[in-house]
Structure 1
Amino acid sequence: MSSASSPSRADASTDLEVRTPARVHRRRAVVLLALAVFQFWLWGTRIYNLLGDSTVEYTLAFVLVHLVLYAAAIGAGVVLTVLGLRMWREARAAGVGS
C-alpha cells in the first residue's frame, strides 16, 4: 500500500474529537470546586493551628517549612478553583442549568 492512499497517524489523530456532555462538565466542576473549598478549609485551619499554638515552641525553620508546604497546597486549591469555574462556565454556555 502506498502512503499517499492511506492517512498518516498524525492526520488520523487530528480528526478525533471527544465531546463531553455538558451535564458531565457540571458534575466535574462541582467536584473540583468542592475539593478546592476543602483545600482552603483544611490548610487554612492548619495554618491557624500552627501559628496559634502557644503550648509548643516550634523552631523558626519548622514554621517556615510548614508554611511553604501549606502555601503550595493552597496554590493547588487555587488551581482547582480556576479549573472548576472554567468547567462550570463551559457547562453554562452549553445550556445546562444556571
Structure 2
Amino acid sequence: MIELKEHLFRWNEYLMQHKPTSSDFTPTHEKPLVCHLHGCYEIPASLVLTEDVSEAQKEKAQKYPDRYFADLYIQVYWQDCREFAAELRTRWEAFNGGT
C-alpha cells in the first residue's frame, strides 16, 4: 500500500503558519511526496488563481521550480492532468510489457 505525503508551497501568510514538510523526509516509490504547486482544493486559501499569461511569462515561471528540484531528482510535469494520466498509462504499459 502506498503511503502518500503531501506538501503545500507556503506562498502566503496563512500557509506560513502550517508546518513545512520535514527536511529529513526522503520520498520513495512506496512513500511518494506530492507537491501542490498551485494549492489544494481542500484548503481554499492555498489556491493560486491567475489570469492568462504569455508563453514568455509561462516559461520564466517554470524555470525556477525546474532548477530548484533538479538536484533532488524531481521532475515537474507541466501539462494538464489528462495529458499526465495518458503519459503515465503509456509508460506503465511499456514498463509492464503492454499489459
Higher percent of residues as strand:
2
TM-score per shorter chain, which class? under 0.3
Whose radius of gyration is greater, 1 or 2?
A: 1
Higher relative contact order at CA 8 Å, sep ≥6: structure 1 or structure 2?
A: 1
Give TM-score scaled by structure 1 length. 0.27
Between Structure 1 and Structure 2, which shows a larger proportion of helix residues? Answer: 1
